[in-house]
Chains A and B, each alone.
Chain A
Amino acid sequence: MNKEKILDAALILLVPVGLYMAFIYAPVAKSLGPNQKIFYFHVASAWISFFAFFVTFCTSILYLIKDDFCFDDIAESSAEIGLLFCTIVLTTGPIWGKAAWGAWWTWDPRLTTTAILWFIYVGYIMLRKFIDEDSKRARFAAAVGIIGFIDVPIVFFSIRIWKNTIHPNVVQKGGGGLHPMMLHAMFFALLIFTLLYLSLLIKRVRFARAKRRFDALERAS
């Protein structure tokens, strides 16, 4: 409980610093201008969504092995947060893409895989909403959480083959030559987003637990 408060306080202090680093400290990119600022939010969101889905994957396995609803709550919460950040990635990406290469969307492997990832976890969340029985919901959702996560590298790999045979991969985000001050801002953004993820996860898990208890009480009465 106390740790959670410390985390929240740290976020309140660090988020303005992060914004300062992204908008003022980091220099404006030569070719893209202020558009490039979206980069810090975009990359950090992408990192969080992958990390959150990875947490769902691990806790799904743990649920199947240990049969403890605690892991199911974490899996559900993490998937929801991951989906939220994945949506941010898919929104900020096209805005940046329009400025960077003149198109909202290209069927680049990375974009396509992210879109598919989004659909997999939308399916995961919908599945959870449509099963009434607790243990059934947890077991089936765990199966989707595991298989969905394994699928993404395969999709990434398969789509890359296709692109390589037709045309070379032109778009590489970030690129190698990032200004050191931009790099600082990016790593700081990654740190803040990770803390934000943890804070959201703790709150969401607490909510899931309360809801589970509430449902049990309602069934009992």
Chain B
Amino acid sequence: MSYFNTVLCIFRKDILEEFKSKEVVNSMLVFSLLVVVVFSFIFEPGSDMKNEVVGGILWMSFVFAGLLGLNKSMMTEVQGGNLQALLLSPVDPSSIFFGKVLSNFTFMAMVEIITIPIFTVLYNVNVFAGGALTAAVFFLGTYGFAVLGTLFSLISVNTRTREVMLPLLLLPILVPVILASVQSLNIFVLGHDHALAYPWLKILLIFDIIFTAVVFAVFDFIVEE
């Protein structure tokens, strides 16, 4: 079986499983909407100050929901011994990993697709003022989150304090992704020159490329038994 075939098979497995139980996406979605609503208490009602921080709120809701989803999706994999079985199969282990990345990316994207319109209505701002650039920010940011998140969720489910370990490891390392995504969204929302967002997009792209390459290089070593 070719590399990409394996990736797609893992992806299909996860999506089918999710369609049956709907556990991961539903819990992530409710959580992300809840974060959006709870964070609104930071402002005085009707204050304009909110425009300067909406990018941060939106991304924080994705990050928190993402942490929840990553924990859940990796836990189901480990509990039945499924991950062990997958790693024993005669395929490249990193193809299994990237299959998981793809499915985690999709779960995040589904949550974002529902949260963003509701967010737009509640906060009365247009995060898509950047057009294709906004889409690129969401795409690259979510991918960066999915790559490192999947790796660290795999590491943290093997520890005694699984739920705590994931955010502790992931959040500091994810700083470039969160920072770049938040800053570029703020540029779009505040209506600044879109060219100001280019350096941030570059950071996102560099981050995604470097970490995909590094994870690809080290993954076979970390899982070998």
Note all chain B residues with C-beta closer than 8 A to A119: 168, 171-172
Please encode chain A, from 139 to 171, with 1 for each CB lying within 8 Å of some chain B CB and 0 for all others: 110111011101100110111011001000000
Contact A158 B180 (CB under 8 A): yes
- Does B16 interact with chain A (Cβ within 8 Å)? no
Note all chain B residues with C-beta closer than 8 A to A218: none
Task: Report the interface size for chain B: residues with CB under 8 A from the other chain.
Answer: 34
A133 to B: closest C-beta gap in Å: 8
A118 to B: closest C-beta gap in Å: 9
Complex CA distance for A21 and B159, rounded to whole angstroms: 47
- Does A205 interact with chain B (Cβ within 8 Å)? no
Closest Cβ neighbor of B224 among chain A residues: A139
- Does A116 interact with chain B (Cβ within 8 Å)? yes
The contact of B172 among A120, A130, A140, by CB within 8 Å, is A120
- Does A127 interact with chain B (Cβ within 8 Å)? yes
The contact of A158 among B148, B165, B176, B210, by CB within 8 Å, is B176
Complex CA distance for A116 and B176, rounded to whole angstroms: 11
Complex CA distance for A120 and B169, rounded to whole angstroms: 7
A203 to B: closest C-beta gap in Å: 28
Given the interface contacts A142-B222, A154-B203, A158-B203, does A116 sit within 8 Å of B172 by beta carbon?
yes
Contact A140 B158 (CB under 8 A): yes
Please encode chain B, from 79 to 91, with 1 for each CB lying within 8 Å of some chain A CB and 0 for all others: 0000000000000
Instruction: Determine which residue in A131, A147, A151, A158 has the highest number of CB atoms from chain B within 10 A of its CB, and name it.
Output: A158
Note all chain A residues with C-beta closer than 8 A to B224: 139
Complex CA distance for A123 and B166, rounded to whole angstroms: 9
- Does A95 interact with chain B (Cβ within 8 Å)? no
Instruction: Determine which residue in B173, B211, B224 has the highest number of CB atoms from chain A within 10 A of its CB, and name it.
Output: B173
- Does A64 interact with chain B (Cβ within 8 Å)? yes
- Does B31 interact with chain A (Cβ within 8 Å)? no
Note all chain A residues with C-beta closer than 8 A to B218: 64, 142-143, 146
- Does A126 interact with chain B (Cβ within 8 Å)? yes
Closest Cβ neighbor of A117 among chain B residues: B172
Please encode chain A, from 159 to 194, with 1 for each CB lying within 8 Å of some chain B CB and 0 for all others: 101100100000000000000000000000000000
- Does B95 interact with chain A (Cβ within 8 Å)? no
The contact of B148 among A116, A136, A147, by CB within 8 Å, is A147
Contact B155 A127 (CB under 8 A): yes
Overall SS of chain A's interface: helix
Given the interface contacts A146-B218, A147-B211, does A158 sit within 8 Å of B159 by beta carbon?
no
A72 to B: closest C-beta gap in Å: 13
Given the interface contacts A139-B221, A161-B203, does A154 sit within 8 Å of B176 by beta carbon?
yes
Contact B159 A131 (CB under 8 A): yes
Contact A126 B173 (CB under 8 A): no
Complex CA distance for A31 and B171, rounded to whole angstroms: 39
Note all chain B residues with C-beta closer than 8 A to A65: 221
Q: What would 19 A/B residue contacts be, using CB atoms closer than 8 Å?
A: A119-B172, A120-B172, A122-B168, A126-B168, A130-B160, A130-B161, A131-B158, A140-B158, A142-B222, A143-B155, A143-B218, A144-B155, A146-B214, A146-B218, A151-B175, A155-B176, A161-B200, A161-B203, A162-B183
Tell me the A residues contacting B by CB distance below 8 Å.
64-65, 116, 119-120, 122-123, 126-127, 130-132, 136, 139-140, 142-144, 146-148, 150-151, 154-155, 157-159, 161-162, 165
Tell me the B residues contacting A by CB distance below 8 Å.
148, 151, 155-156, 158-161, 165, 168-169, 171-173, 175-176, 179-180, 183, 196, 199-200, 203, 206-207, 210-211, 214-215, 218, 221-224
- 3 nearest CB pairs, A to B: A130-B159, A64-B221, A119-B172
